[in-house]
Amino acid sequence: MRARPILREIEQGELWLGERRLVYTLKRSSARRTLMLKVSEGGEITVNAPLRMAWRHIEAFLNQHADWIKQRLERASRQTFCWRDGIELPYLGSLRRLSIEPAALPLVFPLADRILVGGDEGRAAVLVTDWYRSEAARFLRERLSAHVARVDYPMPRFRLTNATSRWGSLSPTGVLSLNWRLLKASEAEIDYVICHELAHMRVPNHSSRFWREVAALYPGFEAPKAKLRQNAALYFQF
Ligand SMILES: [Zn+2]
């Protein structure tokens, strides 16, 4: 009996981890009987699957391993994000060049076109990240207060988070959390996240009533919502 030729197909799949859209390579082969998942050191996701396996099985398998994928991606981004002079950092919707000045005091100075950090390269990551967080605490609270006043909602308690895949949340006790990494996003993207969480004060789920509430708080929210998804990988780099 002659061996059957092995049939192969390569496709692209899409996976959502929270607000984060990930693209993966799906390699189908008639020689495979089981699913296999890999996340490379560079953060590329590959799934090996039997040739005719239904998408819903593949997607269920990925959802089951979502936490593991997240951990692997975090490790990959820590390894691939290299803090050195001249790299571009996203800041309020634009890119600013990082200037490292070894002879200057270890402080961060935001300039119109770049972000200047004193001290040696090895400390830049910590200094700049801390600076983003403190700027985010101030800026996000300001935006939140402005929206609350505008739509006549009560001001919720506010907390800054370091979540690795979520932009914001509203706890059952009414604490509104926003991710400090939002400081990398444009004001429109930030406003969308704030209005999304505010809408949860009235509607806890993601029903159509909820999205009507979001639209009432922030007409035209769809465009910044889509932008935030597109930019998620960039904003979650560090
Ligand atoms: Zn929500």
Q: Rounded CA gap, 17 and 172, in Å?
A: 22
Could you tell me the distance, in angstroms and rounded to a whole number, from the CA of residue 137 to the centre of ligand 1?
A: 21
Does residue 110 lie in a domain region? yes
Domain count for the chain: 2
Q: Encode pLDDT of 5-26 as tens digits.
A: 899 998 888 888 877 778 899 9
- Assess whether 73 and 111 both reside in one domain: no
Q: Residue 76 sits in which domain range?
A: 8-80
Q: Using CA of residue 128, residue 90, residue 14, residue 49, what is the dihedral sign?
A: negative
Percent share of the chain, pLDDT over 70: 97
| Predicted TM-score (pTM) above 0.75 | no
Co-location of 100 and 198 in the same domain: yes
Instruction: Say which CATH number the domain at 225 has.
Output: 3.30.2010.10
Q: Mind giving me the DSSP string for the chain?
A: -PPPPPPEEEEEEEEEETTEEEEEEEEEETT--S-EEEE-TT--EEEEEETT--HHHHHHHHHHTHHHHHHHHHHHHHHH----TT-EEEETTEEEEEEEETTS-S-EEE-SSEEEEES-HHHHHHHHHHHHHHHHHHHHHHHHHHHHHHHT-PPPEEEEE--SS-SEEE-TT-EEEEEGGGGGS-HHHHHHHHHHHHHTTT--S-SHHHHHHHHHHSTTTHHHHHHHHHHHHHHT--
135 alpha carbon to ligand 1 midpoint, in Å?
24
124 and 34 in a common domain: no
Residues 72 and 103 in one domain: no
Averaged pLDDT, 118-132: 93
Q: Please tell me whether residues 58 and 93 are part of one structural domain.
A: no
CA of 199 to the centre of ligand 1 (A): 8
Both 135 and 198 in one domain: the answer is: yes
Kindly report, residue by residue over 176-219, the tens digit of the pLDDT.
Answer: 999 999 999 999 999 999 999 999 999 999 999 999 999 999 99
Domain shared by 54 and 160, yes or no: no
Determine the distance separating the centroid of ligand 1 and the alpha carbon of 205, expressed in angstroms: 7
Separation of 50 CA from ligand 1 center, angstroms?
A: 35
CA 206 to ligand 1 center in whole angstroms: 6
Dist. CA 200 → ligand 1 center (Å): 7
Distance 81 CA to ligand 1 centre (A): 29
Ligand 1 mean position to 148 CA, how many Å? 17
